[in-house]
Amino acid sequence: MINSCEKTTQLIDKQIVSRLSFKEKIQLQLHKSICKSCDSYENQSRFIDVLINNSFKSKINKNVKMTQERKSKIIEETKKI
């Protein structure tokens, strides 16, 4: 049985975060070999991953750190409990 495109895109995204069973891998290969849109979706999905990573990294400010004073204050506060 050949999967639908909807099911195939699920497998494409699933394989990035989780593992596919042997059957799922075969089904994925089979569908991609006959469907250009899904074959392209696999690349699109990876590209979107790169974009998300870039967006996240650009918004995180690694230079802003919690001060040592503030950390000591937290430790002090727990001692009062």
Partner 1 sequence: MPKQQRKLFMEIVKENSKKILEKWVNHFSDELFTWALYKTSSKETAEDLVQETFMAAFNKIDTFQGKSQPKTWLFSILNNKVIDYYRLSAKTTKLTFSISENRGYELSDGLFDETGHWQSNEINPIWNQEEELLDNPEFNRVFENCIQNLPQKWKDAITYKYLTDKKTDEICQELEITVSNYWQIVHRSKLLLKKCLETNWTH
- Cα distance between residue 22 and residue 28, in whole Å: 10
Instruction: State which of positions 21-80 bind partner 1 (CB under 8 A).
Output: 36-37, 40-41, 43-45, 47-48, 50-62, 64-66, 70-71, 73-75, 77-79
Residue-level length of the chain: 81
- Cα distance between residue 10 and residue 64, in whole Å: 38
Residue from 1, 6, 23, 29 touching partner 1 (CB under 8 A): that is 6
CB 14 within 8 A of CB 41: no
Binding residues for partner 1 (CB under 8 A) = 4-7, 9-10, 13-14, 16-18, 36-37, 40-41, 43-45, 47-48, 50-62, 64-66, 70-71, 73-75, 77-79, 81
